[in-house]
Amino acid sequence: MKHVIEVFDSKTEELLKTVEIPSTRLAELVELMGWEDPEDEIYVYDLSPEQLSTIAEWTHTQFSETNNIIQLVCIA
């Protein structure tokens, strides 16, 4: 199971970018997201600016929040 950030255009809903979160960050991701049960990891989540900023640091990626929908997704 891996987690990725998906960035969509808010008008067209076209997928613009996918960024994988390193598996070495899983424990930190669980804490950042406030997940309490293992099944919490499998859902799609909108991210707060603070969560997105932290994940941007982990992945060395810049995310443009303007006109984009940015979500955390689990891929089996």
Per-residue pLDDT of the chain (76 residues; tens, 9 = 90+): 899 999 999 999 999 999 999 999 999 999 999 999 999 999 999 999 999 999 999 999 998 777 899 999 999 7
CATH of domain 2-75: 3.10.50.20
pLDDT at 51: 96
Indicate the domain borders of the chain. Answer: 2-75
pLDDT at 52: 95
Please give the sequence-ordered ranges of beta strands (E in DSSP) within 1-76, or none if there are none.
2-9, 15-20, 45-46, 68-75
CB atoms within 10 A of CB 70: 22
What predicted TM-score, i.e. pTM, was given to this entire model? 0.88
CA 16: distance to chain centroid? 14
In whole angstroms, give the CA distance from residue 71 to residue 44: 7
